[in-house]
Amino acid sequence: MDEAARQDDGIRGLGMIGDRRTAALLDREGAIVWYCPQRFDRPSLFAALLDAEGGAWRIHVPGARSARRRYLAASGIIETVFRAGGAESTVTDFMPAGQGAPAGLLCRRFAAMPGGMRSVLQPRPDYAREPVRLVSRETTVLIQERWHLHASHPLRVAGDTVHLDLPPGTDGWAVLSDLPLAPFGTAQVDAWLAATLAYWHALSAGDSRNGPYQREMADSLRALRLLTHEASGGILAAATTSLPEVPGGQANWDYRYVWLRDAGMIVSALLRASGDLAEGERYLGFICSSRGRSSHYPVPVFADLDSVRAPRKSSLMLAGYRGSRPVRVGNGARDQLQLDGFGNVLLAAKLIYQRSDARPHWDTVAAIADFLSSHWHEPDHGIWEEPVTRQYTVGKVIAACGLDSVAEFSPDRGQARRWRAAVQDIRAFVASHCLTSEGAYAAYAGSEAVDVSAALFPVWAYCRPDTSEMLATMAALERDCSFRGELYWRHLECTDSGKEGAFLAATFWVAQYWVMRGAWDRVRRILDAGLAFANDLGLFAEEGDPRTGLMQGNFPQAFVHAAFIGVVTDLMTARANGMPPPQDMHRGSGCQ
């Protein structure tokens, strides 16, 4: 990947701060280009990420450029360093959380610059659909009669923009709040920052571990925590909508919801990596709280943060990221049958039940298992949510693995027998209908194509990694779906997936397969190829294009971070079992 691609100011340039209620995305120059107040899936106030006129909160430092940035320790706080001549100054961006910190604030702390600094806030409410209304009130500016902008120095309204000018050599701050605040000053802003650091320190207290890719693991754990809605336990697929899978194309989806599939894999990764049983139980509680809110299934295939089926798809008038339209809110896949999503819930439930004598939410887990045992034979839309239904192999396989996983926990022997009988029927179907003429696992029954999701079959314990079927599958994947055997594409039935970037989660699934085979050099090469698409803050988008070096798809993508955690966790387990990977697998200062 060339240096120009690494420094691309697009998706790769984004960072994210958050308070586990919502999040804001910043570019390399410290501009906040995406922010949905109150909650991740609410309408945006800043959407410059998707339209130059969509609103932003920018910083101008005369003669300066951003030199570097970092997260403070394990927190969701970003510090951006600006350099002008020989002088440096920092902007610290955070959303307060923790004891004594009010909710619903977006805070910017400015250190002094010799030439001064200007903050320019351009609000564009409701995805830029609502006319801007600004009212000055002494030390604050009221935006839309809903949001309050406070600052250390006088604020100036110019049309539909708010300016804050800091004199040379002067520190300052600005705070955007959802609700009115009592008068406060610099000491209070610094106290909120300290409380927020303590909050994130407590969240990450159990993360310390020696092993391969230690720093990158910490980055991925932070990303998943930033994408977790603390109040409900829901884990978002991503913080954004409509970042394109194909630049300039129409594969632009709203990922600000909780998918059964994604969240199940995420919780499984977190449980295996950190053993955080409470987080797993909260996720299961979130899923089960949506029971009865789908007219088709035991629980919706994905839900909003109220555990309600996600809204219908609609389009906005925004120009789109680099012209990629339409820009969408809601998601049209909300009523699809996706067998793999239900199977992932059962696999996550198994990990939770193995770690506890309790069986939380068993009634709903059993209802999901009953549904799978009765409907596994139906065509579904598959793991990639295709517009056409097929007998997708991955859905059958994970249905079998999920049913087998929870059968041992059923107090009803008849129920367990039914589930296990369905497992045998599924296995017979897959063996008879879901193999290619080369003996590989087919993408769907009757197909000669293979899909990279099959790399997970041994991980889910459906089969051993060295069966003839898996050997044929991996050979076909390397031949048909990979870039130099290091980055992998998914198979799409209705779209040319070759126009997309490599699917990064699936790339890490392949690495996880090779961990099971003990092929350490392959694992290292695949991991390093995938990690080349993490940005300087350790964040992944959905895809990476090895031809251009650019990130594609929504950001940051929880699916990818969970897949990476899964590989590294297996590497650590291999080492603990006396099979250490070679020393050159450790990436620089990030590993010990």
In tens, the pLDDT along 414-462 reads 999 999 999 999 999 999 999 999 999 999 999 999 999 999 999 999 9
Least confident of 13-27, 280-294, 416-430: 280-294
**Mean pLDDT for the stretch of residues 483-492:** 95
Tokens coding 388 = 């056409």
592 — pLDDT class (breaks 50, 70, 90): very low
580 — pLDDT class (breaks 50, 70, 90): low
6 — pLDDT class (breaks 50, 70, 90): very low
- Provide the b/e sequence for 446-472 (b: ≥16 CB within 10 Å): ebeebbbbbbbbbbbebbebeeebbeb
Q: Give the C-alpha separation, 172 to 155, whole Å.
A: 12
Report which residue type is found at 129: R
Average pLDDT, the chain: 93
φ and ψ of 436, to 5 deg: -80, 175
**Mean pLDDT for the stretch of residues 509-534:** 97
Model confidence at 2: pLDDT above 50? no
Query: End-to-end distance of the chain based on CA atoms, in angstroms?
Result: 26
Q: Give the C-alpha separation, 348 to 566, whole Å.
A: 13
* Pairing outcome for strands 134-137 and 155-158: unpaired
208 — pLDDT class (breaks 50, 70, 90): low
Decide: 77 and 71 in contact? Cβ < 8 Å.
yes
Taken in order of first residue, the domains within the chain and their CATH numbers are 21-203 (2.70.98), 214-590 (1.50.10.10)
Question: How much is the pLDDT for 533?
Answer: 97
Q: Tell me the H-state helices in 275-338.
A: 277-289
Q: Give the C-alpha separation, 84 to 62, whole Å.
A: 8
Decide: 228 and 20 in contact? Cβ < 8 Å.
yes
CA 16, 77, 551: angle at the middle one, nearest 5? 25
283 — pLDDT class (breaks 50, 70, 90): confident
**Mean pLDDT for the stretch of residues 50-54:** 98
The residue behind tokens 């797993």 is 280
**Mean pLDDT for the stretch of residues 184-200:** 98
- As a whole number of angstroms, the longest Cα–Cα distance in the chain is 77
Question: How much is the pLDDT for 93?
Answer: 98
Question: How much is the pLDDT for 490?
Answer: 97
For 512-523, how does the pLDDT look when each residue is reduced to its tens digit (9 = 90+)? Answer: 999 999 999 999
pTM, full prediction: 0.95
Structure-model confidence comparison of residues 268 and 197, the more confident one = 197
